[in-house]
Amino acid sequence: MKPHTITSRTVQDFPVDIDAIARLIAETQLESGEIPWCEGQKTDPWDHVEAAMGLSIGGYFNEARRALEWFARLQRADGSHYSAYLQGIPEDRTRETNLSTYIAVGVYHYYLITGEIDILTEMWPTISAAIDFALNLQTPEGEIYWAISPEGNVDPMALLTGCSSIFMSIKCALAVADILGHSKPLWRKALEKLGCAIKHKPYLFNMTKSRYAMDWFYPILSGILTGDEAQRRIDKYWKKFVVEDRGVKCVFDEPWVTIAETSELSLALSAMGNQDLAGIVFNWISDRRYEDGSYWCGFTCPDLIIWPGDKITWTNAAVLMAADAIYNLSPGGQIFSHQFWESLDISF
């Protein structure tokens, strides 16, 4: 597979300046490979990987690889990462399962775009340790506890969004394992248990986050809910979170639309195969950007006050990922597609 280079000229009159967004991420990246939220702010492992995926889409392959390698260097012996860093120094020593495992998604995404199989071999120990860390916190019922405290205590609560993200990470880890010839039957069993918990046992997710839009669409984005079940969930909560012609509210009871949540809902709709609606939602935010082509973090409704004013790396990466999925700009655009995972026989 040849590397797929993407520029803003890939599609005529394309609504997103791909290079401008990827360049913002690259210019925010530190020499170490770390990608903070924005200049001078913290880095968390999940958003760091999300930003690296944006670099891959934009064709900044060296920078993306440096970001993945940074993640590998900072991994702890038990496969975990701390929840926040500032220039490589831990700021929050909580160890969250979904943050630690997202590296599998970033590495597999990089491989899909570049075809560089050596990245899979190089990052396999990191991926394997991260997945094992999370699965060590899986209960017999299937849910995965969200974190270990700085004092070393397991917090016996599960997050719906976090567990959905872990489900996606395990799928990507299994795809990497298949390519490298590693048999991981216990991972497949854990994936099935986790999917069953999310799909059939909502009472297990005792850390209530139902105010947040991510709890609405992440079970769809990760591929746990597909087909008619996914559509019913979209329909059930659409009016709760969506402001027509504006975007998706981060939380339903605040008048704040965010670019990241709107992009991720577009991704979830695309993953289901509803490309038309995905494109409509994505176009709602197509002009919510600064003069340099990078996107706002969010804005209030109905007065359209930009808040906060920071140019957030992972928000801009989410825009690139949605654009890639909707407009089929690279092989990485299929990474959330339910049909794609069914073709790999790694689905629930």
Strand partners, 258: 248, 298
What predicted TM-score, i.e. pTM, was given to this entire model? 0.96
Do residues 102 and 45 touch, judged by C-beta distance below 8 A? yes
Report residue 3 as tokens. 């590397």
| Total Cβ atoms within 10 A of residue 297 | 22
Query: For residue 66, what pLDDT is reported?
Result: 98
Average pLDDT, consecutive stretches of 10 residues, N- to C-terminus, the chain (348 residues): 42 76 98 97 98 98 98 98 98 98 98 98 98 98 98 96 98 98 98 98 83 96 98 97 97 96 98 97 96 96 95 98 96 98 91
Among candidates 250, 207, 248, which has minimal Cα distance to 97? 207
CA dihedral 342, 217, 46, 124 (to 10 degrees): -10
Strand partners, 256: 300
Task: Tell me the domain boundaries of the chain.
Answer: 18-343
Sheet holding 154-155, edge to edge: 95-96, 147-148, 154-155
Distance CA 31, CA 252 (A): 39
Query: For residue 14, what pLDDT is reported?
Result: 73
Among candidates 227, 279, 318, 294, which has minimal Cα distance to 17? 294
Do residues 166 and 134 touch, judged by C-beta distance below 8 A? yes
- Per residue in 245-264, pLDDT (tens digit) is 999 999 999 999 999 999 99
Q: What is the CA radius of gyration of the chain?
A: 19
DSSP 183: -
Distance CA 19, CA 12 (A): 14
Query: For residue 173, what pLDDT is reported?
Result: 98
Query: For residue 148, what pLDDT is reported?
Result: 98
CA 123 to chain CA centroid, Å, is: 18
Do residues 220 and 233 touch, judged by C-beta distance below 8 A? yes
Query: For residue 2, what pLDDT is reported?
Result: 36
CATH class of 18-343: mainly alpha
Query: For residue 279, what pLDDT is reported?
Result: 97
